[in-house]
């Protein structure tokens, strides 16, 4: 009897796992108006570059997407693949932009890419609009180097739109990027290795096909 | 008809290279020192690039339409930017086309601008034809989805200028830059905060002048060509000295002051060049403003005395700009600003001018060997205007490319919002609004000069 129960539980688990297929994922497409900001510092002053295009799609467990207030904390089936053209990152100074784009090996690796590997709901949200607090794990590829990254993500909903915001801290050197030190400064200006990436990604539920 | 000496280096633009050379090399600065001013310098530009080394970065593919003297000056300037790739040159006059191809050997030659616009490889079009021919080409270029640089004044009638401004405004996918060069000039940009912050006290009056001994008449092998070439000398095609030359300095003064005139009174006549021309060779336009102040613009083709200058008279101090230099002259009772104690000073007759140089702080480290009369940078305003045009065109072109690769290309509003977000990455340059405003002001000033009377500005004229 006990064996049978274990088996049936196992079967149930399998069935659940099987149900986590594309068919049960709700798709969200990237929309204009997204923002990415990279903040850094140097021994002289803080700096920031901003971009306004995040491409890609997000797929979330359909039941979770339709009513997140019923979801229990834990792993959420999800698939996210996004990218951002490196040259859309701007500082407001074109001379600094070309240095930055060169440091990120833009001609060879024109995009920054991110792929989600795991999404965990931290707590059941009180409202379907959010905020929905999640933890993410994924892979970030910059300048041809891919690293594992983990950072908290907050989602908010409004009608068909879903906005994901978050902040990730990374080291430039972990992507093989030497923090730039302008030659003209004779080594007096040194850029710190740590940068903070903040994003605000606008998506909208894809039209049913 | 034409028995007068012909100019050797005549151009249709006030801010030509020879003026800069003059300022750099003549004893003009020394003469100014004797009068006593403090130079106001702008930040030093990068040294003129040597022959571009093998450049494999992004390019902006350009076409020049109108290859006269000024058009070829544009080609020579573009040649200094590896990013600017001139792939087509166009002029209906064969000898001009030949000379343009010498200046841009890799460019294909065309006699019909429509053929240039048909080439999908052409991203940006630079229009340097006579003023009255701008509209047709500018509208066609914008309609063809090209980025457009159009010489100033953009048109010789307000109606044509408005049509161009509207087309530029509505062309979401095109970057439009008019040839109001001083808006890109680092020295002028450096002066704006001095004027706007009240460092000169209350603005009392302003003055600008352009004096050059030159006929403005171009030599031609036959009468037909002479007529086409000397469009500046006819009333139906020219906006006169106040427009064809004055647009630049009049625009910069209105930019400094952030003012629009309420009326303009014109004076002038054909005083020296009695060669059958219709356009006055010496003019004066007095603009008046709501606050009671005035701006006196003077231009002459009959006297070269004192060349070009712009002066802003304030109750605490006066700023004088000449070419790429500027000075501040303080009143005896004006408050101490502090920094001027350390600034370079020059003696101008009975006055002491304080240098207003944008690179003043840098100059202490890098320019110690420089003579006092050396300007902060040597490049003419056209260099900075072309740099802005090429950089901004690339910014907008790649912005559109990145946007449509991701989102719905038909979503014009979203695209416009995205491109607006790129504004702060733009290099400084005049806009279609500036060009239209300058066109209205100078066309009406020319009208006032023609009738030797007053024209009151109707606010409705300024509506695009």
| pTM for this prediction | 0.85
Closest alpha carbon within chain B to A97: B425
Contact A33 B417 (CB under 8 A): yes
Nearest CA in chain B to A91: B425
Is any Cβ of chain B less than 8 angstroms from the Cβ of A31?
A: yes
pLDDT confidence of residue B204: 94
B402 in reach of chain A (CB within 8 A): yes
Interchain contact, A32 vs B411, CB within 8 Å = yes
- A67, β-bridge pairs: none
Which pLDDT tens digits describe chain A residue by residue (209 residues)? 445 455 454 444 444 444 445 448 999 999 999 999 999 888 888 889 999 999 999 999 999 988 889 888 999 999 999 999 999 999 888 778 888 888 888 889 999 999 999 999 999 988 888 899 999 999 999 999 999 999 999 999 998 999 999 999 999 999 988 887 666 656 677 788 889 999 999 999 987 65
* Cβ separation A31–B407 shorter than 8 A: yes
Dist CA A14 CA A76 (whole Å): 16
What is the pLDDT at residue B73? Answer: 97
Which residues from A are below 8 Å from B389, CB to CB?
Answer: none
Q: Which helix (H) or strand (E) holds B366?
A: helix B360-366
Taking only the tens place, the pLDDT of each residue in B130-159 is 999 999 999 999 999 999 999 999 999 999
Cα separation of A16 and A181, whole Å? 53
The whole-number average pLDDT for the span B394-407 is: 94
Inter-chain residue contact B398 with A94, CB threshold 8 Å? no
Start-to-end Cα distance in chain A:
46
pLDDT above 90 covers a percentage of chain B that reads 74
Does residue B281 come out as left (phi exceeding 0), alpha (psi in the -120 to 50 range) or beta? alpha
CA dihedral over A127, A132, A133, A135, signed as positive or negative: positive
- Please answer yes or no on whether A31 and B417 come within 8 Å at the CB atom: no
Out of B84-93, B233-242, B374-383, which region has the weakest mean confidence (pLDDT)?
A: B374-383
Amino acid B359: pLDDT: 65
Contact across the interface for B406 and A94, Cβ inside 8 Å: no
Looking at residue B19, its pLDDT comes to 41
Contacts of residue B224, Cβ cutoff 8 Å, sequence gap at least 6: none
The token pair that represents B365 in the structure block: 């480290």
Which residues on chain A are in Cβ contact (under 8 Å) with B403? 32, 53
Q: Which long-range contacts (CB under 8 A, 24 or more apart) does A173-176 make?
A: A174/A145, A174/A147, A175/A142, A175/A143, A175/A145, A175/A147, A176/A143, A176/A144, A176/A145
- Residue B23 scores a pLDDT above 50: no
Q: Is B407 on the interface with A (CB under 8 A)?
A: yes
Q: Is the pLDDT of residue B28 over 50?
A: no
d(CA A51, CA B451) in angstroms, rounded, equals: 54
E strand or H helix that includes residue B246 = helix B246-257
Q: How confident is the model at residue B40 (pLDDT cuts 50, 70, 90)?
A: low
Using the predicted structure, report yes or no on whether residue B102 has a pLDDT greater than 80: yes
Q: Does any CB of chain B come closer than 8 Å to the CB of residue A37?
A: no
User: CB distance from A204 to chain B under 8 Å?
Assistant: no
Q: Torsions phi, psi of B396, nearest 5? A: -70, -40
For residue B181, name the pLDDT band (cuts at 50, 70, 90).
Answer: very high
β-partners of residue B113 are none
B189 has a chain A CB within 8 A of its CB: no
More confident residue, B88 or B49: B88
CA distance B222 to B214: 21
pLDDT above 70: percentage of residues in chain B: 84
Q: What span, in angstroms and rounded, lies between the C-alpha atoms of A23 and A63?
A: 11
Q: What is the pLDDT of residue B375?
A: 57
CA-nearest of B187, B209, B191 to B200 is B191
B424/A94 Cβ within 8 A: no
Assess whether pLDDT exceeds 70 at residue B10: no
- Asked if the model's pLDDT at residue B297 lies above 50, the reply is yes
- Which residue shows structure tokens 């990145």? B402
- pLDDT grade for B269, boundaries at 50, 70 and 90: very high
| B301-315 confidence digits (pLDDT tens) | 999 999 999 999 999
Window 423-462 of B, Cβ < 8 Å to A: 424-425, 427
Chain A contact for B278 (CB, 8 A cutoff): no
Residue to mutate among A85, A107, A111, with most B CBs inside 10 A, is A85
Whole-angstrom distance, CA of residue B384 vs CA of residue B274:
37
> Residue A90: its chain B contacts at CB < 8 A?
422, 424-425
B373 pLDDT above the threshold of 60: no
Q: Does A94 touch chain B (CB under 8 A)?
A: yes
Nearest to B402 among A30, A53, A107 (CB): A53
């Amino acid at each position: 009897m006990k064996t049978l129960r274990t088996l049936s539980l196992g079967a149930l688990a399998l069935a659940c796992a099987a149900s986590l297929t594309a068919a049960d994922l709700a798709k969200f497409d990237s929309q204009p108006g997204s923002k990415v900001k990279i903040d850094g510092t140097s021994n002289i002053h803080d700096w920031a570059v901003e971009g306004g295009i995040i491409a890609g799609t997000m797929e979330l467990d359909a039941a979770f997407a339709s009513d997140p207030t019923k979801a229990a904390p834990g792993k959420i089936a999800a698939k996210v693949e996004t990218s951002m053209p490196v040259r859309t990152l701007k500082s407001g100074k074109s001379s600094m932009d070309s240095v930055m784009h060169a440091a990120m090996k833009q001609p060879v690796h024109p995009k920054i890419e991110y792929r989600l590997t795991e999404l965990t709901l931290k707590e059941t949200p009180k409202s379907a609009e959010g905020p929905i607090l999640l933890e993410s794990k994924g892979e970030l590829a910059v300048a041809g180097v891919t690293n594992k990254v983990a950072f908290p993500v907050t989602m908010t909903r409004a009608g068909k739109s879903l906005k994901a915001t978050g902040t990730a801290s990374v080291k430039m050197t972990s992507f093989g990027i030497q923090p730039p030190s302008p030659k003209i400064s004779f080594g007096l200006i040194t850029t710190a290795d740590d940068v903070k990436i903040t994003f605000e990604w606008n998506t909208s539920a894809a039209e049913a096909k | 008809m034409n028995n007068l000496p012909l100019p050797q280096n005549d151009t249709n633009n006030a801010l030509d290279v020879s003026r800069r050379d003059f300022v750099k090399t003549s004893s003009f600065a020394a003469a100014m020192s004797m009068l006593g001013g403090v130079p106001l310098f702008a930040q030093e530009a990068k040294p003129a690039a040597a022959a571009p080394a093998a450049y494999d970065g992004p390019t902006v593919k350009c076409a020049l339409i109108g290859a006269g003297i000024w058009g070829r000056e544009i080609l020579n300037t573009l040649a200094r930017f590896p990013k600017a790739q001139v792939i087509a040159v166009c002029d209906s006059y064969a000898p001009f086309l030949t000379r343009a191809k010498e200046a841009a050997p890799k460019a294909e030659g065309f006699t019909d601008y429509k053929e240039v616009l048909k080439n999908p490889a052409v991203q940006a079009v630079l229009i340097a034809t006579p003023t009255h021919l701008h509209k047709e080409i500018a509208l066609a270029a914008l309609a063809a989805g090209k980025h457009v640089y159009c010489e100033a004044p953009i048109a010789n009638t307000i109606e044509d200028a408005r049509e161009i401004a509207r087309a530029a405004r509505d062309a979401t996918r095109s970057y439009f830059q008019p040839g109001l060069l001083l808006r890109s000039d680092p020295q002028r940009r450096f002066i704006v905060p001095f004027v706007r912050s009240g460092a000169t006290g209350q603005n009392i009056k302003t003055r600008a002048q352009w004096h050059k001994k030159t006929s403005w008449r171009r030599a031609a092998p036959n009468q037909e060509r002479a007529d086409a070439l000397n469009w500046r000398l006819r009333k139906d095609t020219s906006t006169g000295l106040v427009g064809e030359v004055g647009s630049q300095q009049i625009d910069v003064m209105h930019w400094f002051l952030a003012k629009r005139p309420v009326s303009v009174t014109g004076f002038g006549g054909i005083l020296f060049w009695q060669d059958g021309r219709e356009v006055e060779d010496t003019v004066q336009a007095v603009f008046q403003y709501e606050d009671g102040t005035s701006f006196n613009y003077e231009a002459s083709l009959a006297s070269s005395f004192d060349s070009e200058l712009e002066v802003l008279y304030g109750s605490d101090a006066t700023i004088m700009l000449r070419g790429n230099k500027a000075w501040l002259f303080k009143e005896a009772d004006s408050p101490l600003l502090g920094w001027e104690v350390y600034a370079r000073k020059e003696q101008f007759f009975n006055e002491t001018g304080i240098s207003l140089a944008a690179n003043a702080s840098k100059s202490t480290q890098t320019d110690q060997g420089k003579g006092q009369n050396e300007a902060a940078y040597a490049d003419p305003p056209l260099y900075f205007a072309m740099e802005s045009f090429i950089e901004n065109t690339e910014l907008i072109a790649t912005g559109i490319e990145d946007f449509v690769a991701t989102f719905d290309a038909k979503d014009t509003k979203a695209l416009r919002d995205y491109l607006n977000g790129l504004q702060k990455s733009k290099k400084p340059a005049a806009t279609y609004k500036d060009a239209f405003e300058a066109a209205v002001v100078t066309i009406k000033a020319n009208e006032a000069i023609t009738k030797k009377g007053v024209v009151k500005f109707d606010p409705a004229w300024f509506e695009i």
